[in-house]
Amino acid sequence: MPTFLIYLAIILPAILIGLGIALYVFQERLIFYPDKLSVKAQFKFDNEFEEYFIETKDGEKINALKFKAKTPIKGVVFYNHGNAGSLEYWGTKAIDFTSRGYDVLMYDYRGFGKSSGKIKNEKMLYNDAKMLYKKLLHDYAEKDVVIYGISLGTGVATKLAHENQPKLLILETPYFNFYDVSKHHYPYLPTSILLHYQFRNNKLLPELKIPVYLFHGTVDKTVPYDSSVRLEKLAKHIHLFTIENGSHSDLNTFNYYHHKLDEILN
């Protein structure tokens, strides 16, 4: 056997093992890309809003914003954002819902924006969302709550909807499950063994008793469009709205998105 093939046979497995170890140990750094903000930072949005800090059971503080719709108010959107940025960016999305008569509650995950702490596992993410959802129900009837998730947040939103009774669930660029999308990005690694995160949308969505609406662009390079195609096939109450030439983060720039959002929310 040629020398370079011997070296390749030795080096390639070593590289894959090294990547596997890095994925296992540092996966939060590979999954989450937060923008940190000073707690003294001032948000500036066109919408009227209120800012909150809500303390978790383990002493961390979650930063949240509630955007107010013009009357008459039809309900509230509980918004679970993606894996990057902070409320400074995500808050600009609130107008898509306040303009349609819905208040919006958005929050930053641990370590994002002004929120303290670090994300360590999937259960922690969900427990924080559940805590905020329960507080939301002090001010709104659950029949008027729309749960919204985008990208990473679709897993949190789906589990939240599965364990509660909101009006409906809207998912933007959802993954089939987290193993599936990680396999898309790391095809040569055994991600099903290494990942701490599951977010099994494919298991939970068919079990819901409420309408589920999916938005996905056909040229999404982060979460493949086929993820939503497969999710829609799982149950009759799951409806996919395809945005031709839409990518991962520009769907609300398309007229079709707003047309369908009108239909859903009105």
Mark whether 15 and 111 lie in a shared domain: no
Mark whether 203 and 230 lie in a shared domain: yes
Mark whether 70 and 192 lie in a shared domain: yes
Mark whether 64 and 189 lie in a shared domain: yes
Place of tokens 């290494």: 194
**Measuring CA to CA, how many Å separate 152 from each of 73, 75, 208?**
28, 24, 19
Structural domain harbouring 26: 1-31
Judge contact between 154 and 171, C-beta under 8 A.
yes
Residue type, 146: V
Mark whether 170 and 150 lie in a shared domain: yes
Mark whether 24 and 118 lie in a shared domain: no
Whether the predicted model's global pTM rises above the 0.75 cut: yes
Mark whether 218 and 172 lie in a shared domain: yes
Mark whether 216 and 244 lie in a shared domain: yes
Mark whether 8 and 81 lie in a shared domain: no
Residues 162, 222, 76, 211: is their CA dihedral positive or negative? negative
Q: The domain spanning residue 184 has which CATH number? A: 3.40.50.1820
Token output for 148: 């919204």
DSSP codes, 80-149:
E--SEE-HHHHGGGTHHHHTTTEEEEEEPPTTSBT--S----HHHHHHHHHHHHHHHTTTS-GGGEEEEE
Mark whether 183 and 144 lie in a shared domain: yes
Mark whether 8 and 89 lie in a shared domain: no
**Measuring CA to CA, how many Å separate 109 from each of 79, 80, 170, 246, 259?**
12, 9, 19, 26, 30
Tens of pLDDT along the chain (266 residues) come to: 565 555 445 554 544 444 445 555 556 887 899 999 999 999 999 989 999 999 999 999 999 999 999 878 999 999 999 999 999 999 999 999 999 999 999 999 999 999 999 999 999 999 999 999 999 999 999 999 999 999 999 999 999 999 999 999 999 999 999 888 777 666 655 455 457 788 999 999 999 999 999 999 999 999 999 999 999 999 999 999 999 999 999 999 999 999 999 999 98
Mark whether 110 and 39 lie in a shared domain: yes
Q: What is the pLDDT of residue 3?
A: 58
Report the number of distinct structural domains present in the chain.
2
CA dihedral 183, 188, 192, 195 (to 10 degrees): -80
